[in-house]
Amino acid sequence: MAVTAVVGGQWGDEGKGKVIDLLAGTADVVIRAHGGDNAGHTVVNDLGEFALHLVPAGIFNPAATCIIAPGVALNPAGLVRELEVLEQRGVRTDGLLISDRAHLVMPYHLMLEQAQEGSRGADAIGSTGRGIGPTYGDKVGRIGIRAGDLRDAVKFRRRVSTGLAHANDQLRMLGRFDGEISESQMADEYLTYASRLREFIRDVSPIVAGAISRGAEILLEGAQGTLLDLDHGTYPYATTSACTVAGLCQGSGVPPQAVDHSVGVYKAYCTRVGSGPMPTELKDGVGDYLRERAHEFGTTTGRARRCGWFDAVVSRYTARLNGFSSIALTRLDILDELETISLCVAYDLDGSRIQDVPYDASLLERCRPVYEELPGWKTSISDVSDFEELPREAMRFVERVEHLVGAPADMIGVGPARRQTISRGRFRSAAPFAKP
Protein backbone atom coordinates (compact mmCIF):
# COMPACT_ATOMS: atom_id res chain seq x y z
CA MET A 1 0.00 0.00 0.00
CA ALA A 2 1.26 3.41 -0.79
CA VAL A 3 -1.14 6.09 0.26
CA THR A 4 0.45 9.37 1.30
CA ALA A 5 -1.57 12.19 2.83
CA VAL A 6 -0.22 15.75 2.63
CA VAL A 7 -1.74 18.13 5.15
CA GLY A 8 -1.06 21.71 6.22
CA GLY A 9 0.29 21.96 9.77
CA GLN A 10 -0.40 25.68 10.23
CA TRP A 11 -3.09 28.10 8.97
CA GLY A 12 -2.85 27.16 5.30
CA ASP A 13 -0.50 28.54 2.65
CA GLU A 14 2.35 26.36 3.96
CA GLY A 15 3.54 25.52 0.46
CA LYS A 16 1.53 22.32 -0.01
CA GLY A 17 1.28 22.99 -3.75
CA LYS A 18 5.00 22.51 -4.24
CA VAL A 19 5.16 19.43 -2.01
CA ILE A 20 2.22 17.80 -3.79
CA ASP A 21 3.63 18.70 -7.20
CA LEU A 22 6.91 16.99 -6.25
CA LEU A 23 5.30 13.87 -4.87
CA ALA A 24 2.80 13.72 -7.72
CA GLY A 25 5.66 13.08 -10.12
CA THR A 26 5.62 9.42 -9.06
CA ALA A 27 1.93 9.15 -8.11
CA ASP A 28 -0.70 7.15 -9.99
CA VAL A 29 -3.64 8.92 -8.39
CA VAL A 30 -3.88 12.37 -6.78
CA ILE A 31 -7.03 13.15 -4.81
CA ARG A 32 -8.26 16.54 -3.65
CA ALA A 33 -10.53 15.66 -0.77
CA HIS A 34 -12.04 18.75 0.90
CA GLY A 35 -12.54 22.51 0.74
CA GLY A 36 -13.16 24.38 -2.47
CA ASP A 37 -11.73 27.25 -4.45
CA ASN A 38 -11.08 29.08 -1.19
CA ALA A 39 -7.77 27.21 -1.46
CA GLY A 40 -4.95 28.36 -3.67
CA HIS A 41 -1.99 26.14 -4.44
CA THR A 42 0.96 27.73 -6.16
CA VAL A 43 3.02 25.40 -8.31
CA VAL A 44 6.19 26.39 -10.14
CA ASN A 45 7.43 23.91 -12.72
CA ASP A 46 8.92 23.69 -16.22
CA LEU A 47 5.75 25.18 -17.70
CA GLY A 48 5.82 28.24 -15.45
CA GLU A 49 3.92 29.35 -12.36
CA PHE A 50 0.35 28.17 -11.78
CA ALA A 51 -2.26 29.04 -9.16
CA LEU A 52 -4.56 26.06 -8.68
CA HIS A 53 -7.77 26.29 -6.70
CA LEU A 54 -9.70 23.10 -7.41
CA VAL A 55 -7.69 21.02 -9.84
CA PRO A 56 -5.32 18.67 -7.94
CA ALA A 57 -1.67 19.63 -8.27
CA GLY A 58 -1.07 16.17 -9.80
CA ILE A 59 -2.45 17.51 -13.08
CA PHE A 60 1.12 18.23 -14.25
CA ASN A 61 1.89 14.52 -14.28
CA PRO A 62 0.11 13.37 -17.45
CA ALA A 63 0.22 9.76 -16.23
CA ALA A 64 -1.69 10.52 -13.00
CA THR A 65 -5.42 10.32 -12.50
CA CYS A 66 -6.55 13.43 -10.63
CA ILE A 67 -9.74 13.17 -8.61
CA ILE A 68 -11.95 15.87 -7.13
CA ALA A 69 -13.50 13.78 -4.37
CA PRO A 70 -16.91 13.73 -2.66
CA GLY A 71 -15.73 16.01 0.16
CA VAL A 72 -14.93 18.95 -2.12
CA ALA A 73 -17.20 22.00 -2.49
CA LEU A 74 -17.07 22.50 -6.23
CA ASN A 75 -17.72 25.78 -8.00
CA PRO A 76 -18.23 24.64 -11.60
CA ALA A 77 -17.74 28.14 -13.02
CA GLY A 78 -14.34 28.36 -11.31
CA LEU A 79 -13.36 24.88 -12.40
CA VAL A 80 -14.25 25.55 -16.04
CA ARG A 81 -12.09 28.70 -15.94
CA GLU A 82 -9.22 26.84 -14.28
CA LEU A 83 -9.32 24.10 -16.90
CA GLU A 84 -9.31 26.66 -19.70
CA VAL A 85 -6.20 28.35 -18.31
CA LEU A 86 -4.41 25.03 -17.90
CA GLU A 87 -5.27 23.88 -21.40
CA GLN A 88 -4.26 27.22 -22.92
CA ARG A 89 -0.86 26.79 -21.25
CA GLY A 90 -0.34 23.33 -22.63
CA VAL A 91 -1.33 21.22 -19.61
CA ARG A 92 -3.32 18.07 -20.39
CA THR A 93 -6.48 17.84 -18.30
CA ASP A 94 -7.92 14.57 -19.56
CA GLY A 95 -6.71 12.76 -16.42
CA LEU A 96 -9.26 14.63 -14.29
CA LEU A 97 -12.27 12.97 -12.65
CA ILE A 98 -14.97 14.66 -10.58
CA SER A 99 -16.97 12.75 -8.01
CA ASP A 100 -20.70 12.83 -8.64
CA ARG A 101 -21.04 13.19 -4.85
CA ALA A 102 -19.16 16.51 -4.65
CA HIS A 103 -21.43 19.39 -3.62
CA LEU A 104 -21.82 22.37 -5.93
CA VAL A 105 -21.22 25.95 -4.91
CA MET A 106 -24.18 27.96 -6.23
CA PRO A 107 -24.34 31.73 -6.81
CA TYR A 108 -26.64 32.12 -3.79
CA HIS A 109 -23.96 30.57 -1.57
CA LEU A 110 -21.65 33.45 -2.45
CA MET A 111 -24.40 35.98 -1.69
CA LEU A 112 -25.19 34.27 1.61
CA GLU A 113 -21.57 34.27 2.65
CA GLN A 114 -21.29 37.97 1.98
CA ALA A 115 -24.45 38.59 3.98
CA GLN A 116 -23.29 36.41 6.89
CA GLU A 117 -19.89 38.08 7.02
CA GLY A 118 -21.55 41.52 6.87
CA SER A 119 -23.86 40.66 9.75
CA ARG A 120 -20.93 39.60 11.95
CA GLY A 121 -19.51 43.12 11.88
CA ALA A 122 -16.23 43.34 13.80
CA ASP A 123 -16.34 39.56 14.43
CA ALA A 124 -16.19 38.70 10.72
CA ILE A 125 -14.22 35.54 9.99
CA GLY A 126 -12.34 37.09 7.09
CA SER A 127 -13.70 34.45 4.72
CA THR A 128 -12.30 34.20 1.23
CA GLY A 129 -15.83 34.93 -0.01
CA ARG A 130 -16.05 31.81 -2.19
CA GLY A 131 -19.29 30.56 -0.68
CA ILE A 132 -17.73 27.44 0.78
CA GLY A 133 -19.31 27.75 4.26
CA PRO A 134 -22.90 28.11 2.96
CA THR A 135 -22.30 25.23 0.51
CA TYR A 136 -21.34 22.92 3.37
CA GLY A 137 -24.23 24.40 5.38
CA ASP A 138 -26.68 23.21 2.70
CA LYS A 139 -24.90 19.86 2.58
CA VAL A 140 -25.46 19.40 6.31
CA GLY A 141 -29.02 20.68 5.92
CA ARG A 142 -29.54 18.00 3.24
CA ILE A 143 -30.60 20.51 0.58
CA GLY A 144 -27.26 20.63 -1.25
CA ILE A 145 -26.88 20.03 -4.96
CA ARG A 146 -24.26 17.54 -6.12
CA ALA A 147 -22.25 17.28 -9.30
CA GLY A 148 -24.14 14.10 -10.25
CA ASP A 149 -27.39 16.09 -10.21
CA LEU A 150 -26.15 17.92 -13.30
CA ARG A 151 -26.79 14.72 -15.28
CA ASP A 152 -30.55 15.15 -15.03
CA ALA A 153 -31.79 18.63 -15.99
CA VAL A 154 -35.27 18.16 -14.50
CA LYS A 155 -33.98 16.96 -11.15
CA PHE A 156 -31.30 19.67 -11.17
CA ARG A 157 -33.86 22.46 -11.71
CA ARG A 158 -35.96 21.10 -8.86
CA ARG A 159 -33.00 21.13 -6.53
CA VAL A 160 -32.04 24.66 -7.57
CA SER A 161 -35.56 25.78 -6.75
CA THR A 162 -35.38 24.32 -3.23
CA GLY A 163 -31.86 25.66 -2.59
CA LEU A 164 -32.69 29.14 -3.82
CA ALA A 165 -35.92 29.40 -1.82
CA HIS A 166 -33.99 28.46 1.32
CA ALA A 167 -31.20 30.95 0.54
CA ASN A 168 -33.75 33.73 -0.04
CA ASP A 169 -35.33 33.01 3.35
CA GLN A 170 -31.95 33.31 5.01
CA LEU A 171 -31.10 36.50 3.14
CA ARG A 172 -34.43 37.99 4.28
CA MET A 173 -33.68 37.01 7.86
CA LEU A 174 -30.32 38.74 7.62
CA GLY A 175 -32.00 41.79 6.11
CA ARG A 176 -29.89 41.40 2.97
CA PHE A 177 -32.46 40.23 0.45
CA ASP A 178 -32.35 42.52 -2.54
CA GLY A 179 -34.60 40.84 -5.07
CA GLU A 180 -35.05 37.41 -6.58
CA ILE A 181 -32.25 35.88 -8.62
CA SER A 182 -33.68 34.23 -11.69
CA GLU A 183 -33.96 30.54 -10.88
CA SER A 184 -34.17 29.46 -14.50
CA GLN A 185 -31.23 31.63 -15.55
CA MET A 186 -29.11 30.11 -12.80
CA ALA A 187 -30.10 26.58 -13.71
CA ASP A 188 -29.43 27.27 -17.42
CA GLU A 189 -26.00 28.65 -16.61
CA TYR A 190 -25.10 25.59 -14.55
CA LEU A 191 -26.37 23.22 -17.19
CA THR A 192 -23.93 24.91 -19.60
CA TYR A 193 -21.09 24.03 -17.21
CA ALA A 194 -22.53 20.53 -17.08
CA SER A 195 -21.97 20.10 -20.79
CA ARG A 196 -18.30 21.05 -20.29
CA LEU A 197 -17.75 18.95 -17.16
CA ARG A 198 -19.93 15.93 -17.95
CA GLU A 199 -17.02 13.92 -19.36
CA PHE A 200 -15.23 14.17 -15.99
CA ILE A 201 -18.13 13.39 -13.60
CA ARG A 202 -18.12 9.81 -12.29
CA ASP A 203 -18.72 7.56 -9.34
CA VAL A 204 -15.08 7.67 -8.23
CA SER A 205 -15.49 5.22 -5.35
CA PRO A 206 -14.70 2.05 -7.39
CA ILE A 207 -11.78 3.85 -9.04
CA VAL A 208 -10.29 4.76 -5.65
CA ALA A 209 -10.93 1.27 -4.26
CA GLY A 210 -9.36 -0.32 -7.35
CA ALA A 211 -6.26 1.86 -7.04
CA ILE A 212 -5.86 0.91 -3.38
CA SER A 213 -6.26 -2.80 -4.04
CA ARG A 214 -3.65 -2.85 -6.81
CA GLY A 215 -1.19 -0.97 -4.59
CA ALA A 216 -1.11 2.19 -6.71
CA GLU A 217 0.73 5.25 -5.41
CA ILE A 218 -2.03 7.51 -4.12
CA LEU A 219 -1.58 11.04 -2.93
CA LEU A 220 -4.21 12.73 -0.78
CA GLU A 221 -3.95 16.47 -1.32
CA GLY A 222 -4.90 18.57 1.69
CA ALA A 223 -6.11 22.14 1.43
CA GLN A 224 -6.04 24.94 4.03
CA GLY A 225 -4.33 23.83 7.25
CA THR A 226 -5.08 21.98 10.47
CA LEU A 227 -5.41 25.22 12.45
CA LEU A 228 -8.31 26.13 10.15
CA ASP A 229 -10.02 22.76 10.72
CA LEU A 230 -13.63 23.16 11.81
CA ASP A 231 -13.29 20.85 14.83
CA HIS A 232 -9.68 21.32 15.87
CA GLY A 233 -8.76 24.74 14.51
CA THR A 234 -9.00 28.21 16.01
CA TYR A 235 -12.81 28.21 15.98
CA PRO A 236 -14.77 30.26 15.01
CA TYR A 237 -11.90 31.65 12.89
CA ALA A 238 -11.74 28.49 10.86
CA THR A 239 -12.79 27.18 7.51
CA THR A 240 -15.76 24.84 7.16
CA SER A 241 -14.17 21.53 6.26
CA ALA A 242 -11.98 18.96 8.00
CA CYS A 243 -8.37 19.78 7.12
CA THR A 244 -6.71 16.82 8.86
CA VAL A 245 -5.50 13.43 7.62
CA ALA A 246 -8.75 12.01 9.01
CA GLY A 247 -10.64 14.65 7.03
CA LEU A 248 -8.85 13.60 3.86
CA CYS A 249 -9.92 10.00 4.44
CA GLN A 250 -13.51 11.08 4.99
CA GLY A 251 -13.58 13.39 1.97
CA SER A 252 -11.88 10.97 -0.40
CA GLY A 253 -13.36 7.66 0.71
CA VAL A 254 -9.90 6.22 1.35
CA PRO A 255 -10.12 4.02 4.47
CA PRO A 256 -7.92 5.28 7.33
CA GLN A 257 -5.92 2.06 7.57
CA ALA A 258 -4.86 2.46 3.94
CA VAL A 259 -2.83 5.60 4.73
CA ASP A 260 0.75 4.56 5.30
CA HIS A 261 2.44 7.95 5.39
CA SER A 262 1.26 11.39 6.41
CA VAL A 263 3.28 14.49 5.68
CA GLY A 264 2.73 17.69 7.63
CA VAL A 265 3.68 20.77 5.67
CA TYR A 266 5.04 23.64 7.77
CA LYS A 267 6.61 26.89 6.70
CA ALA A 268 9.83 27.83 8.51
CA TYR A 269 7.84 30.76 9.89
CA CYS A 270 4.09 31.32 10.26
CA THR A 271 1.48 33.09 8.19
CA ARG A 272 -2.21 33.56 8.53
CA VAL A 273 -4.74 35.27 6.28
CA GLY A 274 -8.11 36.43 7.62
CA SER A 275 -9.10 37.09 11.21
CA GLY A 276 -8.34 35.13 14.37
CA PRO A 277 -5.55 34.65 16.89
CA MET A 278 -1.95 34.17 15.82
CA PRO A 279 0.32 34.36 18.88
CA THR A 280 3.61 34.84 17.03
CA GLU A 281 2.37 37.49 14.61
CA LEU A 282 4.98 40.21 14.05
CA LYS A 283 3.46 43.63 13.57
CA ASP A 284 6.89 45.19 13.20
CA GLY A 285 9.58 45.54 10.55
CA VAL A 286 10.49 41.83 10.75
CA GLY A 287 6.91 40.87 9.85
CA ASP A 288 6.96 43.31 6.92
CA TYR A 289 10.35 41.97 5.87
CA LEU A 290 9.08 38.36 5.82
CA ARG A 291 5.98 39.38 3.86
CA GLU A 292 7.95 41.25 1.23
CA ARG A 293 10.79 38.77 0.92
CA ALA A 294 8.45 35.79 0.66
CA HIS A 295 5.76 37.66 -1.26
CA GLU A 296 3.15 36.60 1.28
CA PHE A 297 -0.04 37.67 -0.45
CA GLY A 298 -3.02 35.31 -0.87
CA THR A 299 -3.19 33.18 -4.03
CA THR A 300 -6.99 33.32 -3.95
CA THR A 301 -7.77 36.80 -2.66
CA GLY A 302 -4.49 38.73 -2.98
CA ARG A 303 -4.80 39.76 0.69
CA ALA A 304 -1.58 40.48 2.59
CA ARG A 305 -0.79 37.54 4.87
CA ARG A 306 0.03 38.15 8.52
CA CYS A 307 3.57 36.93 9.20
CA GLY A 308 5.32 35.74 12.34
CA TRP A 309 7.85 33.37 13.85
CA PHE A 310 7.54 29.59 13.77
CA ASP A 311 5.14 28.54 16.51
CA ALA A 312 6.10 25.14 17.91
CA VAL A 313 3.11 25.07 20.28
CA VAL A 314 0.48 25.02 17.54
CA SER A 315 2.79 22.91 15.34
CA ARG A 316 3.16 20.18 17.95
CA TYR A 317 -0.61 20.24 18.42
CA THR A 318 -1.29 19.76 14.70
CA ALA A 319 1.39 17.05 14.39
CA ARG A 320 -0.24 15.19 17.26
CA LEU A 321 -3.73 15.48 15.77
CA ASN A 322 -2.58 14.17 12.42
CA GLY A 323 0.06 11.67 13.51
CA PHE A 324 2.52 13.04 10.96
CA SER A 325 5.26 10.60 10.03
CA SER A 326 7.26 13.31 8.20
CA ILE A 327 7.46 17.05 8.02
CA ALA A 328 7.97 19.03 4.84
CA LEU A 329 9.60 22.23 6.09
CA THR A 330 9.14 24.83 3.37
CA ARG A 331 10.67 28.23 2.58
CA LEU A 332 13.70 27.86 4.85
CA ASP A 333 15.58 30.21 2.51
CA ILE A 334 13.28 33.08 3.51
CA LEU A 335 15.20 33.23 6.81
CA ASP A 336 18.61 33.44 5.05
CA GLU A 337 19.42 37.05 5.93
CA LEU A 338 18.26 37.19 9.53
CA GLU A 339 20.72 37.79 12.34
CA THR A 340 18.67 35.77 14.84
CA ILE A 341 15.62 33.58 14.45
CA SER A 342 12.98 33.09 17.11
CA LEU A 343 11.04 29.91 17.79
CA CYS A 344 7.99 29.98 20.04
CA VAL A 345 8.28 27.06 22.48
CA ALA A 346 5.48 27.87 24.95
CA TYR A 347 2.87 30.50 25.75
CA ASP A 348 2.40 32.74 28.71
CA LEU A 349 -1.30 32.93 29.48
CA ASP A 350 -2.08 35.44 32.22
CA GLY A 351 1.16 34.63 34.02
CA SER A 352 1.04 30.84 33.62
CA ARG A 353 3.25 28.99 31.21
CA ILE A 354 1.27 26.66 28.94
CA GLN A 355 2.37 24.16 26.30
CA ASP A 356 -0.97 23.46 24.62
CA VAL A 357 -3.51 25.31 22.51
CA PRO A 358 -6.46 26.68 24.52
CA TYR A 359 -9.93 25.85 23.15
CA ASP A 360 -11.15 29.41 22.85
CA ALA A 361 -9.92 31.94 20.34
CA SER A 362 -10.09 34.73 22.92
CA LEU A 363 -7.76 32.77 25.24
CA LEU A 364 -5.32 32.11 22.41
CA GLU A 365 -5.50 35.80 21.62
CA ARG A 366 -4.21 36.52 25.15
CA CYS A 367 -1.31 34.06 24.88
CA ARG A 368 2.11 35.69 24.72
CA PRO A 369 4.79 33.67 22.95
CA VAL A 370 7.79 32.43 24.93
CA TYR A 371 10.70 32.48 22.51
CA GLU A 372 13.94 30.64 22.12
CA GLU A 373 16.50 32.53 20.04
CA LEU A 374 18.67 30.78 17.50
CA PRO A 375 21.50 32.35 15.49
CA GLY A 376 20.80 32.97 11.80
CA TRP A 377 23.06 31.59 9.05
CA LYS A 378 23.33 34.83 7.06
CA THR A 379 24.07 33.20 3.74
CA SER A 380 22.03 31.97 0.80
CA ILE A 381 20.97 28.32 0.96
CA SER A 382 19.02 28.37 -2.32
CA ASP A 383 21.47 26.07 -4.11
CA VAL A 384 21.92 23.54 -1.32
CA SER A 385 20.64 20.08 -2.21
CA ASP A 386 21.99 17.97 0.67
CA PHE A 387 21.15 18.45 4.31
CA GLU A 388 24.80 18.09 5.31
CA GLU A 389 25.71 21.05 3.07
CA LEU A 390 23.47 23.44 4.99
CA PRO A 391 25.19 25.96 7.28
CA ARG A 392 25.46 24.61 10.83
CA GLU A 393 22.94 27.20 12.11
CA ALA A 394 20.35 26.18 9.52
CA MET A 395 20.80 22.51 10.44
CA ARG A 396 20.36 23.43 14.06
CA PHE A 397 17.13 25.31 13.30
CA VAL A 398 15.73 22.32 11.36
CA GLU A 399 16.73 19.86 14.09
CA ARG A 400 15.15 22.03 16.75
CA VAL A 401 11.90 22.18 14.76
CA GLU A 402 11.98 18.39 14.33
CA HIS A 403 12.48 17.91 18.04
CA LEU A 404 9.75 20.35 19.05
CA VAL A 405 7.20 19.11 16.52
CA GLY A 406 8.09 15.45 16.95
CA ALA A 407 8.62 14.29 13.36
CA PRO A 408 11.57 14.25 10.95
CA ALA A 409 11.90 16.96 8.29
CA ASP A 410 12.22 14.61 5.33
CA MET A 411 11.75 17.39 2.82
CA ILE A 412 13.11 20.91 3.11
CA GLY A 413 12.34 23.71 0.69
CA VAL A 414 15.11 26.18 -0.11
CA GLY A 415 13.44 27.95 -3.05
CA PRO A 416 10.35 27.79 -5.25
CA ALA A 417 11.70 25.53 -8.01
CA ARG A 418 11.32 21.75 -7.89
CA ARG A 419 15.09 21.28 -7.75
CA GLN A 420 15.35 23.59 -4.72
CA THR A 421 14.35 20.81 -2.38
CA ILE A 422 16.42 18.81 0.08
CA SER A 423 15.11 15.28 0.40
CA ARG A 424 16.06 13.00 3.28
CA GLY A 425 14.88 9.97 5.18
CA ARG A 426 11.66 8.67 3.73
CA PHE A 427 12.03 10.80 0.60
CA ARG A 428 15.74 10.33 -0.03
CA SER A 429 15.44 7.61 -2.64
CA ALA A 430 11.86 8.29 -3.62
CA ALA A 431 12.50 11.80 -4.79
CA PRO A 432 14.43 12.05 -8.02
CA PHE A 433 12.53 15.31 -8.52
CA ALA A 434 14.77 17.06 -6.04
CA LYS A 435 17.86 16.73 -8.17
CA PRO A 436 18.59 19.29 -10.87
Which positions are annotated as active-site residues? 13, 41
Residues in 399-428 that interact with ligand IMP by CB under 6 A: none
Residues in 231-270 that interact with ligand IMP by CB under 6 A: 237, 239-240
Dist. CA 137–CA 120, nearest whole Å? 17
User: Judged by CB under 6 A, which of 273, 314, 329, 431 binds ligand IMP?
Assistant: 273
User: Judged by CB under 6 A, which of 44, 93, 124, 126 binds ligand IMP?
Assistant: 126
Q: What share of the chain is helix, strand, coil (3-state, %, to 5)?
A: 40, 20, 40
CB of 45 or CB of 128, closer to ligand IMP: 128
Residues in 205-224 that interact with ligand IMP by CB under 6 A: 223-224
Q: Pick the stretch among 5-13, 58-66, 186-194, 419-427 that binds ligand IMP (CB under 6 A).
A: 5-13
User: Judged by CB under 6 A, which of 17, 95, 133, 287 binds ligand IMP?
Assistant: 133
User: Judged by CB under 6 A, which of 128, 135, 315, 325 binds ligand IMP?
Assistant: 128
Supply φ then ψ for residue 418, to 5 degrees: -55, -40
The minimum distance between CB 13 and ligand IMP, in angstroms, equals: 5
CB of 45 or CB of 239, closer to ligand IMP: 239
HEC string for 293-307: HHCCECCCCCCECEE
B/e letters for 214-252, b = 16+ CB within 10 Å, e = fewer, are eebbbbbbbbbbbbbbbebbbeebbbbbbbbbbbbbbbb
The minimum distance between CB 271 and ligand IMP, in angstroms, equals: 8
Q: Pick the stretch among 99-107, 120-128, 313-321, 363-371 that binds ligand IMP (CB under 6 A).
A: 120-128
Residue 42 touching ligand IMP (CB under 6 A): no
Whether residue 313 contacts residue 235, with contact meaning beta carbons closer than 8 Å, is answered with no
Q: Pick the stretch among 11-19, 68-76, 150-158, 325-333 that binds ligand IMP (CB under 6 A).
A: 11-19
User: Judged by CB under 6 A, which of 12, 253, 308, 408 binds ligand IMP?
Assistant: 12
User: Judged by CB under 6 A, which of 30, 66, 125, 258 binds ligand IMP?
Assistant: 125
The minimum distance between CB 5 and ligand IMP, in angstroms, equals: 17
| Number of shown-chain residues binding ligand IMP (CB under 6 A) | 21
Contacts 24+ apart (CB under 8 A), 361-364: 361/234, 361/235, 361/236, 361/237, 361/276, 361/277, 362/277, 364/234, 364/277, 364/279
User: Judged by CB under 6 A, which of 20, 39, 59, 219 binds ligand IMP?
Assistant: 39
For residue 127, give the nearest of 18, 36, 232 by alpha carbon. 36
Q: Which residue number has the CB closest to ligand IMP?
A: 274
- Round to the nearest angstrom and report the end-to-end CA distance of the chain: 29
Dihedral sign of CA atoms 220, 224, 229, 233 in order: positive
DSSP string, 29-87: EEEE-SB-TT--EEEEETTEEEEESSS-GGGGSTTSEEEE-TTBEE-HHHHHHHHHHHH
- Which residues of this protein are in contact with ligand IMP, per CB under 6 A? 11-13, 38-40, 125-128, 130, 132-133, 223-224, 228, 237, 239-240, 273-274
